[in-house]
Amino acid sequence: MTAAAATLLRTAAELAGYAPEGDRAERAVVMTMGALHEGHASLIRTARAVVGPAGQVVVTVFVNPLQFGEAADLDRYPRTLDADLAVAAEAGADVVFAPSVDEVYPGGEPQVRISAGPMGERLEGASRPGHFDGMLTVVAKLLHLTRPDAAFFGQKDAQQLALIRRMVRDLNFPVEIVGVETVREADGLALSSRNRFLDPYERHTALALSRALFAARDRLAAQQALHARARTTAGATEGRAAGLTRLGEARLAADAQAVARARPDKGPAAVRAAARAVLDDAAAEQPPLDLDYLALVDPADFTEIPDDRTAGDAILAVAARVGATRLIDNIPLTFGAIT
């Protein structure tokens, strides 16, 4: 069965006149810069599931010039509106709002903008000064124009999602912000509009980003499992290790020693080391991976997690260039999850 075509709207006036049917119908918005892929489709499908068949799903397609530090990057960003309309409709969108730059910024670049504050100066903000100010400014404008009950954003852009949530909370926007899990290709690479710029060799190198995150996640899980075993054996493993060593059972003895020495306060260091090892190997590939940052941060403000953290949520984030393409990825982690 062919999906119904999404209605294309170009102006704020058109959008204002396109209200959901019924007084209680909810509106959801998915904000994009176009070049839609399965990650965007997942956001749209999630939005449709939340508002139901009676609600309205609006997808915005707008390449925001305030988010680009260089004109060349802005010009290079793919524009694929016809294909975007098809993807949006297939995923369940009712409306695609694709305004021009003049429609969003009728007086030229805005003199008054949203400031991302200290969180916006870290990680992505340090690498791309002013990026988050521009992002928040356009998100605020689009929230006013679309007037949604809920807005859906991908967790792949974790710092962006955290800043939008903070803006909505601090400035009392009447909207629910919903984060949607990162969508990955079969080999683990996070879906991104920038992936199309990678040649086959660059794409092979780029897989190190997700491999590093998964290695860190697995290291943490293994370490926390060892710590859980150490707690249940209540110190008996030291004696067991010594006995196994005397009997010549080296492998079992090593396992017992690992259990006995498992310490929860070494989790952050182990996570960083596991990810770093994969990224260091990728730096020697051809073409090489040029690391921008690897950071283990608090999801609330994106400050670095201290090495002695034993409990709580964290985000392991990575950014790197492969050839001319800059990619980001992240994974959520929870310390002390196994007790």
Classify residue 210 as left (phi > 0), alpha (psi -120 to 50) or beta: alpha
Q: At 103, give phi and psi (nearest 5°).
A: -70, -40
Helix, strand, or coil here: 324? Answer: coil
Active-site residue list = 40
Cβ neighbours of 181 (radius 10 Å): 12
User: How is residue 158 written in tokens?
Assistant: 């974790």
- Whether the Cβ atoms of residue 269 and residue 275 lie closer than 8 Å to each other: no
Residue 53, preceding peptide bond in cis (omega within 30° of 0): no
82 Cβ neighbours under 8 A, 6+ residues apart: none
- Distance, in Å, from the CA atom of 170 to the CA atom of 2, rounded to the nearest integer, reads 42
Look at the block and give the residue holding tokens 């070494």. 266
| Residue 31: closest CA among 78, 95, 83, 123 | 95
Q: 208 near 281, Cβ under 8 Å?
A: yes
| CA 154 – CA 196 distance, rounded (Å) | 19
DSSP line for 175-205:
-EEEEEPPPB-TTSPBP-GGGGG--HHHHHH
- The DSSP-derived string for 156-167 is TSHHHHHHHHHH
133's tokens: 């100010």
**Cα separation, 208 vs 189, whole angstroms:** 9
CA–CA separation, 55 and 153 (whole Å): 18
